[in-house]
Amino acid sequence: MRSESADSGERLTNEMNVTDILGSPEEEYSNFVYVVAAIAALNGLLFGFDIGIISGALLYIKQSFALSTFLQEVVVSGVLVGAMLGAAVGGGLADRFGRRRLTIAGAAVFFAGSIGMGLSPNVTWLVGFRFVVGIAVGVASIVGPLHISETAPPSIRGSLGFLQQLAITLGILLAYLVSYAFAPTFAGIPGWRWMLAFGAVPAAVLGIGMYFLPESPRWLVEKGRDDEARDVLSRIRADADIEEEMDEINEVSEIESEGNLADLLEPWLRPALLVGIGLAVFQQISGINTIIYYAPTILKNIGFGNVASIVGTVGVGIVNVLLTVVAILLVDRIGRRPLLLVGVGGMTVMLGILGLGFYLPSLSGIVGYVTLGSMILYVAFYAVSLGPVFWLMISEIYPLRIRGTAEGVASVFNWGANLLVALTFLSLIQRIGEALSFWILGVCCLAAFVFIYFRVPETKGRSLEEIESTLRESTFVGSDGDSGTTEYEPDVRE
């Protein structure tokens, strides 16, 4: 960066304080880009709060409504069915109406659904409002990463993209703390009602914050609103020459027609489609939400009380947040692939140990500590790998014209796999026991490691337009210098 006055020199110093943490950029940008990313990432806070709050609330909901194991799974899964719908339509809506307006609409739906859950008179109404909230969660899981990736400079896109995952982990931790604060009753009202209704607070913060943010410049270009896009880029790129970036965006936009779902099956897009769907499914069948949804239930089953189970889960949430911060510091330095491989390898080992803790009778006296320790380390490895990298990569690897739609497809598979796990995990434990259940999840992690090693490219430091160019050239290549490359060669049969 260059400074021509004392004022610009002071600005340079302030920006460097931030970039010392998030990486060393090659281009200029203002601190406003961090404001945009931070507020857009609050989509993840809604996402995380909802999947986290049910773990603590479920302990008391099942007492209020005398829920069977199956109905507990239905209560948990109601939001996932809604999320599948939200993800299915959210991508297309984001491409049609814009990232900003859709985020505001999603926040309003989440606000109303949270209040409805807290007031639910019976389990039917509760599941119904969880479905409504799920629609907002599905939309949030798409539009947050999308908005961030399309406004962030390439050199810090990974770090800013991980803010979404950091917000998810903060939302989960907030949910655990809210669960602890309101358990078991508050002001004479069952605590689970306060827990679920509290979701209206972060929803209001997101809606108000997003109202004051600009639209994605790349979406504006796609809609022919170049002057508005140029104005947005001038706000987030400081004194940098934005015309080169505008030319690059326009060059890609001009060779594209309006995208649709069928375009994802074109031969040149199939490698990206495979990566997105593969990571989506593996993120869930690796077992993370068995921990997020059912950690208090698991801990209670091995001897912890209700409140003690929630306190133990808070420790899991704190580790999730801290290791996500570590991932933010590393992603633009060492890349996406190394984080994925190390993290998934560690998850595989921890699930093996977790199953062993339930399997060996000699450990029965300390199984609670073995279980809690393995859960914490498992979450730590997840937090630096599959957790954030999946959401980051599906916001990077697809062309502009179908980016929202493609993210929607990946998210539908993600929520579908999430639903499968949530609906079957407690029943699976009842049928085959904890040890075999966790070992099955470990095998899924091992399969994820193989998939990542052979199929997932590196996208570190490359612009979204450069990534699209490699797709068009049938060489979906990821490289971070000395670490090597991963290539997708065209299929000669096509």
Q: Of 125-129, 204-208, 228-232, which range is least confident? A: 228-232
399 pLDDT tier (thresholds 50, 70, 90): confident
d(CA 204, CA 193): 18
d(CA 72, CA 66): 10
Task: Compute the mean pLDDT over every residue in the chain, rounded to the nearest whole number.
Answer: 82
Q: Could you tell me the CA-to-CA distances from 452 to 22, 30, 265, 270 in Å, in that order?
A: 25, 35, 21, 16
**Residue 483 predicted with pLDDT over 50:** no
| Residue 5, pLDDT score | 40
Pure H helices in 286-335: 288-301, 306-334
- If one compares 232 and 11, the residue with the highest pLDDT of the two is 232
Whole-model pTM: value is 0.74
Token pair for 62: 């099942």
d(CA 165, CA 141): 10
Mean predicted confidence (pLDDT) in 133-140:
93
Give Cβ neighbours of residue 306 (< 8 Å, ≥ 6 apart): 59, 60, 183, 184, 296, 300
d(CA 40, CA 411): 18
Asked if residue 265 lies in contact with residue 279, where contact means CB atoms within 8 angstroms, the answer is: no
**Residue 471 predicted with pLDDT over 70:** yes
d(CA 163, CA 165): 5
Mean predicted confidence (pLDDT) in 164-169:
87
Q: Of 45-54, 284-293, 315-324, which range is least confident? A: 284-293
Ordered domains of the chain (ranges, CATH)? 27-213+256-486 (1.20.1250.20)
Q: Which of 118, 293, 295, 141 is nearest to 201 (CA)?
A: 118
**Residue 12 predicted with pLDDT over 60:** no
Asked if residue 93 lies in contact with residue 102, where contact means CB atoms within 8 angstroms, the answer is: yes
| Residue 59, pLDDT score | 83
| Residue 29, pLDDT score | 66
Give Cβ neighbours of residue 208 (< 8 Å, ≥ 6 apart): none
Number of Cβ within 10 Å of residue 294's Cβ equals: 24
- What's 122's DSSP letter? S
pLDDT 10s digits, 27-42: 556 788 899 999 999 9
204 pLDDT tier (thresholds 50, 70, 90): very high
CA dihedral 342, 348, 349, 354 (to 10 degrees): 140
